[in-house]
Chains A and B, each alone.
Chain A
Amino acid sequence: MPQSQHPIELLRFNTCGSVDDGKSTLIGRLLYDSKSLMEDQVEALEKSADLTGGGTINLANLTDGLRAEREQGITIDVAYRYFATPRRKFIVADTPGHVQYTRNMVTGASTANLSIVLVDARQGVIEQTRRHTYIAALLGIPHLVIAINKMDLVEWKAERFQEIRDEIEEFLPKLGAFRDVKFIPISALNGDNVVDASKHTPWYEGPPLLAHLENVHIASDWNFQCFRFPVQWVNRPNNPTNQKLHDFRGLSGQIASGVIRQGQSVVVLPAAMKTTVKEIWTYGGSVPEAFCPQSVTICLEHDIDVSRGDMIVGLEQLPGMESNLRARVCWMNIRPLQPNKKYFLKHGTQTVQAIVTRIEDRINFTTLESEPNPAALAVNDIGIIHLKTSKPLIYDSYATNRLTGSFILIEPGTNATVAAGMLFPPTATVKLEYTDFAI
């Protein structure tokens, strides 16, 4: 890891595929071949190879960290790995392919810039392939890689690669907009086209996987439109001895989208009060502007009552403010979704109560078709639901804003996170009936 002269970008990606598609082996290979593995890790691998693997090093043991995983040879939970090249730093979420653990894929993929879907060249496209590609599309992941693995076991045949590619390209248009999709023939076990180009694929003109990860354009993945600032914490020093600190009243949070400047007009919701930004306070001093996803503290010109859960927004395009919502959810709990049951809904920095009033549809993962009016959503189901909340949400559609358009549902009592939700566009945006704020 040589020191770099220029700022290093961070790329977050996740790997998904079915059991035995070789996800953990692929990550092990990326770490091993990019020299990101340390001697004691290799030594531990060799030690467990002697004990349990009949002497063969199992690269999957690098990420399968828990005892049950090594015993059963599966990945139970999302494992995070870190490696760097001189160009980029990488955060890898290794997400399991086991059907019952699909919720972990949603977890691992929700923060990713890029998803790698692994396909076993011998088996071709299976239900899990469709499911994982579909989830990546639903979560709005901009970049997709289809890594067709175990090419060595189909004698590196270009025809087989093309066959699988054609099948995926046939259903991709149904899934909506990936910014880019790359198909790469690999052998994770032997390292072909992972870090180094393979000599077995003269017919493949693209880059090996790592080169693609280093070069894919991610600078525009963040949303710099429409300022949104969910208030996390009211910053009031209440210092009795220092007058300046005594009067300080800031609103701390992380910018969910857009750019904010000192002197800019903003609206505080749900109060619908218009004011201007007096100061953007940071530990290093005041700054003239700040942008997504920076964490800052905003001081407003007027002394408006603002608390955690409120949102400060720019004037250029206002969000929706509604309590009847329509959303696509991934159900994550073994107890199925129950209509008319109360859940907690956490959206941004606000938690409200919510009731599911209707289940509109459920996705059939074999056909990727919508099945209307199902009786319930079971674990790992994805469908559209209607909700009513105890208080209006201030939100955007997930398609335009990943952070103000998403929520989770929490089951009261167990406190389990039971669903991940993505909101459809509001039926109307906030109507402001204010006159300019005046004291």
Chain B
Amino acid sequence: MSSYHLDHLQYLETEAIHIMREVAGEFERPALLFSGGKDSICLLRLAEKAFRPSDIPMPFLNVETGHEFPELIAFRDRRAKELGAKLIVRTVDEAIAKGDAQPAPGEISRNKLQIPVLLGAIAEFQFDCAIGGARRDEEKARAKERFFSFRDSFGQWDPKAQRPEIWNLYNAKVNPGENMRVFPLSNWTEMDVWEYIKKEQLAVPTIYFSHERDCFRRGGQWLPVPPPHTDANKPDPYEGARPKPNEPIKKLVVRVRTIADMISTGMIESPADSVDDIIAEVAAARVTERGTRADDKASEAAMEDRKKAGYF
């Protein structure tokens, strides 16, 4: 009997595959959110394990803020092509141009502007379900999230009225216009994700590994210096996100631990240039992963507020 034993990664994997297949079995038009980040990289492998030898029965969807690391975009496009999946990209820039999104005065981060873009894409393609790579260990509000997280017709999350989830029986029913967000990695930790990447030998974007980069100090973090503004006919997309005269530029050996976009991602000084190094670093870490995310530091309930409005 002892040979019938799953270790913790195998257990998390079979749970996640079960959830992916429930999505395929229960929804008419699901999508899979793929950013090219480490969590959604794991999602893709789980989708392969859930659905092969068939095609993955849902398109990939990504919302761009317009401030992405170029390495991430290249990786995302390459991976979607390798898997033969349809990749749908919607951007904050398009939404602003169409008037669907309005930046708040003085706000540089486009994190919140992703919300109307995501909701717009869900409406445009009539998605009734979107699979995301969020994990409960990331953040306090996420810790209360269900695997199948119901959103009303405004895309809102109501934490006080969540559907109870009992055993492995997920209530996937939605009315027209409503949708479900599904998080197969709910029970995974940052360490589990890296151990899985190692075990499955998954490629990740190079910015996760240590490299030289121009950075500047702001808000207690090392932020990357944005790419130069070349097109003088257009407004600088990185206006406000460039180092000020009193913020000297330093060339540092850094990597990212979590990826938002160039404006919201703090770089960590690190020599880790392999998955093994990263696992050792995570094991010894004394701050949480999202400790390097400016978007979460806005207030104690920053994530909760964005989620209620339709964010992931």
Contacts and interface: CB of A to CB of B under 8 A. Distances in A.
Contact of B53 (A1, A41, A111, A237): A237
A2 B13 CA distance: 22
B167 A68 contact: no
Given A10-B8, A89-B8, A232-B21, A65 B171 contact: no
Interface string A264-297: 0000000000000000011100000001111100
B140 A65 contact: yes
Contacts of A78: 144
B68 interface: no
A77 B21 contact: no
A335 to B, nearest CB: 13
B168 A403 contact: yes
Nearest to B283: A1
A154 interface: no
Interface in B134-169: 136-137, 139-141, 143-144, 150, 159-160, 162-169
Contacts of B7: 7-10
Contacts of B283: 1-3
Contacts of B5: 7, 219
A294 B6 contact: yes
Contact of B166 (A44, A106, A282): A106
Given A67-B304, A252-B21, A254-B18, A415 B171 contact: yes
Given A245-B53, A252-B50, A283-B52, A91 B187 contact: yes
Contact of A294 (B14, B24, B163, B167): B14
A40 interface: yes
B232 interface: no
A248 B53 contact: yes
A132 interface: no
B301 A67 contact: yes
A417 B162 CA distance: 9
Contacts of A406: 166-167, 169
B211 to A, nearest CB: 24
Interface stretch (A79-87, A120-128, A164-172, A205-213): A79-87
Contacts of A219: 1-2, 5
A82 B136 contact: yes
A17 interface: no
Interface string B168-198: 1101011100000000001101010000000
Contacts of A44: 300
Given A237-B54, A344-B173, A65 B141 contact: yes
B159 A76 contact: yes
B172 to A, nearest CB: 9
Nearest to B163: A417
A433 B53 CA distance: 34
Interface in A390-418: 402-403, 406-408, 410, 415-417
B183 to A, nearest CB: 11
Nearest to B2: A219
Contact of A107 (B54, B150, B164): B164
B25 A415 contact: no
Contacts of B52: 283
B215 to A, nearest CB: 20
A49 to B, nearest CB: 12
B214 interface: no
Interface string B268-312: 000000000001100101111001000000001100100000000
A402 B167 contact: yes
A110 interface: yes
A38 interface: yes
A397 to B, nearest CB: 15
Which of B25, B52, B167, B174 has the most chain A CB atoms closer than 10 A to its own CB?
B167
B301 to A, nearest CB: 5
A332 interface: yes
Nearest to B284: A1
Interface in A73-130: 76-82, 84, 89, 91, 103-104, 106-107, 110-111
Interface in A22-67: 38-41, 44, 48, 62-63, 65-67
Nearest to B143: A79
Interface string B23-62: 0110000000000000000000000111111110000000
B2 A39 contact: no
B229 to A, nearest CB: 33
A232 B22 CA distance: 7
A89 B52 CA distance: 30
A178 interface: no
Nearest to A408: B169
A66 B304 contact: yes
Contact of A233 (B15, B25, B55, B164): B25
Contact of B169 (A84, A254, A281, A407): A407
Contacts of A294: 6, 10, 14
Contact of A38 (B18, B174, B288): B288
A259 interface: yes
A420 interface: yes
A333 to B, nearest CB: 9
Given A252-B21, A308-B25, A222 B4 contact: yes
A243 interface: no
Contacts of B1: 219-220, 224
A238 B174 CA distance: 29
Given A281-B53, A346-B171, 10 more contacts: A8-B7, A10-B8, A77-B159, A79-B143, A104-B164, A110-B166, A233-B51, A254-B18, A291-B4, A408-B169
23 contacts: A3-B279, A10-B8, A39-B287, A41-B288, A66-B159, A76-B159, A77-B159, A80-B143, A82-B187, A84-B189, A111-B168, A237-B55, A238-B54, A254-B168, A281-B53, A283-B52, A294-B6, A346-B171, A406-B169, A407-B169, A417-B163, A417-B164, A420-B167
The 10 closest A-B pairs by CB, nearest first: A65-B140, A7-B7, A295-B17, A40-B291, A415-B173, A10-B8, A283-B49, A107-B164, A291-B4, A232-B21
Interface of A: 1-3, 7-10, 38-41, 44, 48, 62-63, 65-68, 70, 76-82, 84, 89, 91, 103-104, 106-107, 110-111, 219-220, 222, 224, 232-233, 235-238, 245, 248, 250, 252-254, 259, 281-283, 291-295, 308, 332, 344, 346-349, 402-403, 406-408, 410, 415-417, 420
